[in-house]
Structure 1
Amino acid sequence: MRIYLHIGFPKTGSTAIQAHLVMNRQWLSSRGYALADTGHSEGYGHVQLFEDPALSLLDSLKQEIDQLQSQGIEHVILSFEGVVTLGRKKLEKIHAALSEHEIFIVAYIREQSEVVQSGYFQAAKQRPQKRIIADYHSNKKLITPKHINYQTTLEKFEGVFGREALIIHVYEKEALKEQDVVVDFLAILGLEKDDNFVKAATLQNISLDPGAVYLLNMLDGYFNDAEGREKLVDTLLTRIANEGAKGKYFLSRENTDYIREFYTASNRYVQQRYIKSSDYQDLFSYSKKTHCDNFEQFAAMGSETLEFLNQYNKFRSWQGVELTGKDLQSLASPADGWSSPEPWGVWSDNDESFLRFRLPVTTTSPFKHTLAITLTGDYFEGNDQTRVIINDQIDETVSLLEHEFRVSIPALDQYRTVEIKLCHQHPTSPADIGAGDDIRRLAYALKKLSYQVID
């Protein structure tokens, strides 16, 4: 049995590799390959297997491998970029558990000035940062971290698994097979994609750009709202996914030259010892510009990003988690034909009411195509149906005591915005029918709202 342990290195396409392995489990199985189930978490690789301090799932992994072997599987794949950070004792424990099999360590390495910048953008995407962009211009330690000294890390793996077990490729388009890290990884496995191999239609792990990070740096200094920040980041990523990034780099030429000089000796060692073939004199081509010439533009980019957010502010990012009672006010606003929320829900007020939201790009699977939206509620005085218009897809009159609408996700606009317009039959004021002094024009009482992404 051959075991391929993909250890990543930061910002080298690990998310794309992991996503395609999951999407093509059956394709792999038909060719004698299996993505191990033990400790696997969709979207994160084998995080549960390798992040456990005791590595307690290794025995379960051994049992799974034995079972797969009995089923005719000849190759098992493991993938988690956090493996590069494991200490030698843990690596020895992994090696000992799998020593009955032939183990290969697969890693991609990327030019360090790109890793520093892309890595910071990734960190800023995930959580507020103590350091802001400007800090990286003056602190040499920040731009030369130990974890991207590839010589040190690869020597650690060589000491445990042996030099011949290491398969190291350079993460540059020109160095990858078909300029695609997924296709390149398949080639390492001894496979070649065909018409039955499923390729994702969208990018995985979209990166922020300098304007978005500049804005986050500023806002993070004033606010501490994790849920709100997550929605903000998703909106920023949606823009980038559709319009493209407005730049990638924030370091100066002086910074990038320093980084390259700092890692020159270790990179040369890696090239000579671990790279089996290379078209470059150095480990990396260094042909691409990885610095920024004008730092003053970041403020302008941040302002432009703020203008974009204002444009789409009425479409709140929402993951479809059921809203009830006063929580409905996050989508059912008084400005959109709704009354003030009450403990049980919210009344419509006037002839029309609107519900607007946006599917988050970061948490919505690109491989599902239908949105199932459910409204639950009640009616007031002579109302028993509602005309419902959803984008350009649905226009029907139905009872909304409880009703599910199916909406095509590919038919939504590029920002995946959804607008539900409710046209009420006979809005009636309680005051007009002698039921108190309430002058609101009521028709529909919304009690629950949710959606699921299906198919």
Structure 2
Amino acid sequence: MKLILHIGTDKTGTTAIQMHVHANREWLLDRGVYVPLTGLGKDNGHSKLLRALDSRDLSELAKELAIAEAHGYDSALLSWEGMSYMSSQEIAKLVNTLRLDNVWLLVYLREQADITQTGYLQEIKTDGSPITIEDFQRGALSPRGIRARMHCYSGTRNYARMLQRWMRVIQPGRVIVREFQRDKLVRGSVVDDFLSALGLSPDHHFCRVEHFSNPSLDVESAILLNTFDNESSGTLCRKTISFSLQSLVDSEGPGTRYFLSPERVSAIRRHYKRSNAAIADIIGTQLSPLFQTSPDCATAETLSSLSARVEMRASKLTALSVIPMLFATKRPHQRPPQGILTTGWGTIADGAWSLGETSLLQFRLPFWMSTRPRGEVAVFLKGRYTKSNSKTQVKINGVDFGWQNLSSFSREIRVPASCLGDNQTLEVELRHEFQEPPPSPVSGMELSALQLRRIGVQFFHPD
């Protein structure tokens, strides 16, 4: 049986491929391609299995592949972009444990000057980086400039060296190299291109997974995160800032996409030219020269020319940050944060008491919750009524969910993710049945019907 290892690399549509593989596993099985269940995730391929390389899990995989071969499957597929970073020892362990001699590689490569920048913007979005956008524009002899220069010539983007490690266990001619550039992909789609590499073509039975938006930050947003990381003087957590910036980029469209000068881009391409040209000889197959039509990824912009747009983005971020962000919790355990109580509330130590006939809550959700239209956001509200009060009319973003008893634990109200407001905002309107004084009236406090004691959110997705 032919084992195909889809090894990435980074920023080449791997998540989209893996989501479609998971959703279309039966479709692939019907066409002779076996997708092992051992270690298979919904949107990360076989990451859990291949990251750990646990001997017991690998033995279980080997048994599963042997059964699949006995049932007549022509090929099997494993996918994880981290395989492109495996050491020679890890590669040997993987291939030798599986005891298969017909192993093929499928790898997508992205032009180095392009991935240097898009990869950095992805890194700064999720984990942060000691290198700043300003460092890339410093002189080559300054300490921080040298560090940025080293990032531009990272050995992880030497694809020839990476493939050399694999060719110690892969026979020549068994490597499929695809160039990740929109006009080079089948029908401009990495999913269709991936199927083509497997010798397949989508039909009306093939399930298209809904659009999953995972935008990179633009340069303006990265500069703001650089400032936050270096100063650490803000009152907001980094995760909140990152999600807020993603929301602004998504709603307004990206600003500046690239930050390297034409001179630096040309230098990067010269640096990798020889190793890229050597790939065909290394893998032992005919291969068209890579990156002959390189993407236009250089910019003449300087930090000073970007300053006005950075300041505009900063002002929008400040305005947006006035609305607190709630993160998903396993249980609605948190007390209502003061910032989400907009009107119609008075507070005491153990919760928020309603004031008057109507009380409003407003908060934002992390950006990713709005990227899957079929998802649902569950809003949990837990309260205590005064005397004989027993129900509350709940409206969320204008949708009336009727009269609810919020004293039952825990009241869950599901809202389609498509109903989220601008920048993933939720406004909850609580209309009270009637008002009576709370058990322990606060001096000067108006009549109250409900004490809101707990609030929380969770995300659900049918896939």
Same fold (TM over 0.5): yes
Which stretch of the first structure deviates more once superposed, 233-242 or 251-260? 233-242
What amino acid is the match of 2:396? I
1:409 paired residue number: 417
Displacement of 1:277 after TM fit?
Answer: 4.8
Q: CA deviation at 1:261?
A: 1.0
Contact 2:5 2:78 in 1 (8 A): yes
Contact 2:228 2:234 in 1 (8 A): no
Once the two structures are superposed, what CA deviation does each residue of 1:103-128 show, in whole Å capped at 9, x if it has no partner?
11111111111111111111111112
**2:89 pairs with 1:89:** yes
Q: How far does the alpha carbon of each residue in 1:408-447 deviate from its partner, in whole angstroms, 9 at most, with x for none?
A: 32233453322111122334455xx995635244221122
Secondary structure of 1:162's aligned partner: coil
In the alignment, which of 155, 163, 166 is matched to residue 154 of structure 1? 163
Structure 1 runs of 4+ with >4 Å offset: 53-56, 224-227, 271-275, 322-326, 433-436
Counterpart among 291, 294, 299 of residue 292 in structure 1: 299
Alignment check: 8 A CA contact 2:22 2:41 kept: no
The alpha-carbon deviation at position 225 of structure 1 amounts to: 8.9
Q: Which residue of 2 aligns with 1:18?
A: 18
Query: Is the CA contact 2:84–2:162 (under 8 Å) kept in the aligned structure 1?
Result: yes
Using the alignment, how far apart are the partners of 1:34 and 1:450 within structure 2? 41
Write out aligned runs for 1:113-262 (5 A). 113-137=113-137, 138-139=145-146, 140-223=149-232, 228-262=237-271
- Structure 1 counterpart of 2:49, one-letter code: L
1: CA distance, partners of 2:299 / 2:311: 18
Moved more, 183-192 or 354-363: 354-363
Answer yes or no: is 1:313 the counterpart of 2:321. yes
2:140 maps to what in 1? Answer: none
Q: 1:404 to 1:291 in 2, by over 3 A?
A: same
Question: 1:151, 1:270 within 8 Å by CA — same for their partners in 2?
Answer: yes
Task: Give percent identity, aligned residues only.
Answer: 27
* 2:15 partner amino acid: T
- What is the SS of the residue equivalent to 2:456? strand
When the two chains are superposed, the root-mean-square deviation of aligned CA atoms in Å is 2.8
Following TM superposition, by how much is the alpha carbon of 1:156 offset from its aligned partner in structure 2, in angstroms?
1.7
Instruction: Give the total of aligned pairs.
Output: 448
Partner secondary structure for residue 169 of structure 2: helix
| Structure 2 letter corresponding to 1:104 | W
1:5 — aligned with what? Answer: 5
Secondary structure class of the residue paired with 2:347: coil
User: Is the CA contact 2:212–2:371 (under 8 Å) kept in the aligned structure 1?
Assistant: no
Alpha carbons 1:357, 1:419 under 8 Å: kept: yes
Pick from 364, 372, 376: which aligns with 2:378?
372
**Which amino acid in the other structure matches residue 450 of structure 1?**
G
Q: Equivalent residue of 1:368, what SS?
A: coil
Equivalent-residue separation in structure 1 for 2:333 and 2:380 (angstroms): 15
Q: 1:341 to 1:32 in 2, by over 3 A?
A: farther
Q: Which deviates further from its counterpart, 34-43 or 127-136? A: 34-43
Distance 1:216 1:6 in 2: 33
1:387 and 1:398 in contact (8 A); partners too: yes
Change in CA separation of 1:10 and 1:440 when aligned onto 2, cut-off 3 Å: same
Structure 2 counterpart SS, 1:178:
helix
Amino acid at match of 1:116: T
Deviation of 1:272 after TM superposition, in Å, equals 6.0
Residues in 1 aligned to 2:226 and 2:76: alpha-carbon distance in whole angstroms: 42
Matches within 5 A, 1:353-392: 353-362=359-368, 366=372, 368-392=374-398
Residue 454 (structure 2) aligns with: 448
Structure 1 residue runs of 5 or longer lacking an equivalent are none
Q: Letter of the 2:78 partner, please give it.
A: L
Which stretch shifts more, 413-422 or 268-277? 268-277
Structure 1 counterpart of 2:309, which letter?
A: M
Contact 2:377-2:417 within 8 A present in 1 as well: yes
CA contact (8 A) 1:332 1:346 kept: no
Is the partner of 1:237 in helix, strand or coil? helix
Q: Counterpart of 1:347? A: 353
Please state whether the residue corresponding to 1:294 is helix, strand or coil.
Answer: coil
Paired letter, 1:253: P
CA spacing shift, 1:194–1:336, aligned 2, 3 Å = farther
Distance 1:101 1:240, change over 3 A: farther
Inter-partner Cα distance in structure 2 for 1:54 and 1:224: 42
Q: 1:422 to 1:303 in 2, by over 3 A?
A: same
CA distance in 1, matches of 2:234, 2:415: 31
After superposition, what is the alpha-carbon deviation per residue over 1:166-219, rounded to whole angstroms, capped at 9, x for unaligned? Answer: 111111111111111111111111111122322233245321110111100001
Letter in 2 for 1:424: H
Alpha-carbon contact 1:385-1:399 (below 8 Å) kept: yes
Give the drift of 1:37. Answer: 2.4
- The match for 1:399 among 392, 402, 405 is 405
Corresponding residue of 2:273: 264
The answer to whether the 8 Å contact 1:12/1:109 transfers is yes
- 2:75 is aligned with 1:75: yes
Quote how far apart the aligned CAs of 1:157 are: 1.3
Structure 1 position 341, deviation (Å):
5.5
The verdict on how the C-alpha distance between 1:136 and 1:312 changes in structure 2, with shifts beyond 3 A counting, is same
CA contact (8 A) 2:354 2:449 kept: yes
Distance 1:317 1:98 in 2: 46
SS of corresponding position for 2:16:
helix
Return the alpha-carbon distance in structure 2 between the equivalents of residues 193 and 226 of structure 1.
Answer: 49
Note closer, same or farther for the CA distance 1:119–1:216 as it changes in structure 2 (3 Å cut).
same
- Runs of 5+ consecutive residues of structure 2 not aligned to the other structure: 138-144
Distance in 1 between residues matched to 2:359 and 2:331, nearest whole Å: 17
Does 1:283 pair with 2:303?
no
The alpha-carbon deviation at position 227 of structure 1 amounts to 8.7
Change (3 A) 1:287 1:425: same
* C-alpha displacement of 1:131: 1.1
Distance 1:225 1:38, change over 3 A: farther
In the TM superposition, what whole-angstrom CA distance separates every residue of 1:391-410 from its partner, at most 9, and x where no partner exists? 13225333322343332322
The residue aligned with 2:427 is 419
